[in-house]
Amino acid sequence: MAPQVIDVCAVLRSAVNQNYGNLLTRDTGMAVRHQIERELAANREGGITSLDFSRIGMMDYSCADEVVAKLLVLLQNDDLTRGGYVVFCGIGEEHLELVETVLEHHGLALVCLCEDGHPQLIGRVSEAERRAWEMVRVRGHAAPAELADEFGFGEDFVAEVLDELLRRRLVRRGQDAFLALDVADTVQ
Amino acid sequence: MNVITVPSSLDDQSFEQVLEQLAPLPADARILIDARNTGWASPYGLTALLTLGQTRLEKPQLIPPEKDDTASYWSRANFFRYAEELFDIKGKVPTQRAASESGTLLEVTPVSRSDDVHTVVERIQAKAAHILTQNLHLESRAVLGFAMALSEACQNIVEHAGRGGWVAVQNYNYRRRMGKHVVQIAVCDAGVGIRQSLESGNRRPLTDRWDDAVALEAAVIQATSRFPEHGRGQGFKGIRGYLNKWQGKLAVRSGTARVAIVPPWDDDVVRRDHLAPMPGTQLFMMIPERVDR
């Protein structure tokens, strides 16, 4: 079983048939996103796909809007049972600000694997969503009832927050609990 | 023959003198652009002059600068390479040699397709990194923002102009004028211009007044795009954010108006209306050396 990792730089070069290393222009972003969508569609059995940006040099707003924001919007609007969970990795400190701006503009959020190896939630989330996401991340998996006491609100409220995180594909649904997007689960 | 005299120093401000001379003439009038006494031209001056050539129905004549070093610089900056197609050049043009100017970050380069934007950024990035960090003393993260701003500015041509334009980037040591190094970027096209671009997408704001200045402010300040999608129009916002962070200047001219984001070190006018008409959009950015280290 090979881990599902999509090298965005390789996708870029394949999508535009050029030896580019920068994610620039809306046209390029659209071509890259379409190819990523095809690769994600081929891997829709509930696994997590890691989108690796580590070999990307420069990025601009238009391209980030196409590759990051539109991809997230598409995934959010897709059928949850079809999988499509994505963790972004290799986004350097220098690109984070740009990606966060794009996410803020659309009211989106994503799970990003930082250089220290820890997943981080970036973009626009409510305080309750951020707390619930962090609790699930630390535990690996959690049901609303397990978090209600620590959260300080009732189980129903926690369940609502977790459902919203699920809709936004920032956590996954397990049999009896919500699961963190753990890149170890990128193995099919 | 109508003679249009090019000022001795040709930049984004003095180019208005060229347009004022052209304003009373119809687009098919025969003109001679006389640059004999021009001794200096900025990236904006050179790219805007090419753009002007695109707008004429009758191929204009052009007399190059008399000063050898000026004509030689225009040649090394690739100006004549493209001017030869647009102008009937009167007089000798220096043979083009490889650009050896240490300050030239990017010679005059055509932009019409998405691929051109990649080429521009890939060509400039190593040299830009050196000049921004060593001459302008900016942090290394300023280099990524620079590439982003350049890319977004060039994309305006690809996405909105409807015809090709040019970009050029130059580093100057403005010791006497400003007491510091600066990098200037010019991106000029003779396309449909911002007002017509917004009109084509039915994106005209609901205001009583609608002219080039209002359209410019909608695009540059309010991030309005002709495309209704939510993520559109963010290019100018990104450029403004970058220039604001590094105390840079932005001026965008389209039609008969010009708006500028003016940093504290400059005294330019924020908005100018009723200028001499010029098709398309002409964009000027200047990033100064950081002195508060």
Task: Tell me, yes or no, if B133 comes closer than 8 A to chain A by beta carbon.
Answer: no
Residue A8 in tokens: 């965005």
Of A24, A66, A102, the CB nearest to B117: A24
Q: Which residues of B touch A59 (CB under 8 A)?
A: 144, 148
State the pairing for strand pair B61-63/B31-34. parallel
Q: Write out the DSSP string of B39-63.
A: -EE-HHHHHHHHHHHHH-SSPPEEE
Of A28, A60, A65, the CB nearest to B231: A65
Domain edges within chain A: 5-186
Residues 6 or more apart whose Cβ sits within 8 Å of residue B254: B193, B194, B195, B212, B215, B216, B280, B281, B282
| Domain-terminating residue out of B96, B121, B139 | B96
| CA distances, B43 to each of A34, B29, B78, B188 (Å) | 37, 27, 11, 10
Query: What's the pLDDT score for residue B222?
Result: 87
Query: What's the pLDDT score for residue B175?
Result: 72
B41 and B151 housed in the same domain: no
B120 and B51 housed in the same domain: no
Q: Alpha-carbon dihedral of residues B252, B257, B262, B267, nearest 10 degrees? A: 130
Instruction: Name the residue range of residue B89's domain.
Output: 1-96
DSSP state of B27: T
Task: Tell me, yes or no, if B151 comes closer than 8 A to chain A by beta carbon.
Answer: yes
CA-based nearest residue in chain A for residue B116: A25
Per-residue model confidence as pLDDT tens for chain B (293 residues): 899 999 999 999 999 999 999 999 998 999 999 999 999 999 999 999 999 999 999 999 999 999 999 999 999 999 999 999 999 999 888 877 665 556 778 999 999 999 999 999 998 888 888 888 988 899 888 888 999 999 999 998 988 888 999 999 999 987 767 778 999 999 999 998 999 988 887 777 777 788 999 999 999 998 888 787 777 878 898 899 999 999 999 999 999 999 999 999 999 999 999 999 999 999 999 999 987 75
- Cβ of B155 within 8 Å of Cβ of A26? The answer is yes
pTM of the predicted protein model? 0.88
B147 and B289 housed in the same domain: yes
B43 and B88 housed in the same domain: yes
B130 and B199 housed in the same domain: yes
**B window 219-278, beta carbon within 8 A of A:** 230-231, 234-235, 237-238, 241
d(CA A146, CA A165): 17
Here the contacts of B113-119 (C-beta below 8 Å, separation 24 or greater) are: B113/B158, B114/A25, B114/A26, B114/A27, B114/A28, B114/B155, B114/B158, B115/A18, B116/B154, B116/B158, B117/A24, B117/A25, B117/B151, B117/B154, B117/B155, B117/B158, B118/A18, B118/A20, B118/A22, B118/A24, B118/A25, B118/A28
B130 and B274 housed in the same domain: yes
Terminal Cα-to-Cα distance of chain A (whole angstroms): 6
Query: Domain of B84: which CATH number?
Result: 3.30.750.24
Q: Which residues of B touch A66 (CB under 8 A)?
A: 231
Count of the separate structural domains present in chain B: 2
d(CA A27, CA A13): 13
B106 and B74 housed in the same domain: no
| Domain-terminating residue out of B96, B129, B164 | B96
Residue type, B12: D
B167 and B122 housed in the same domain: yes
B223 and B116 housed in the same domain: yes
Question: Which of the residues in chain A have pLDDT under 50?
Answer: 1-2, 187-188
H/E element, A172: strand A171-173
State the pairing for strand pair A141-142/A178-180. antiparallel
- Cβ of B144 within 8 Å of Cβ of A94? The answer is yes
Task: Determine the 3-state secondary structure of B259 from DSSP.
Answer: strand
| Domain-terminating residue out of B96, B124, B149 | B96
Q: How far is A59 from chain B (nearest CA, A)?
A: 7
Query: What's the pLDDT score for residue B99?
Result: 56
Q: Which residues of A touch B (CB under 8 A)?
A: 18, 20-22, 24-28, 57-62, 65-66, 69-70, 93-95, 98, 101-102, 105-106
B80 and B109 housed in the same domain: no
Residue type, B218: A
Q: Which residues of B touch A72 (CB under 8 A)?
A: none
- Cβ of A69 within 8 Å of Cβ of B158? The answer is no
H/E element, A163: helix A155-167
Q: How far is B192 from chain A (nearest CA, A)?
A: 20
B141 and B266 housed in the same domain: yes
B124 and B249 housed in the same domain: yes
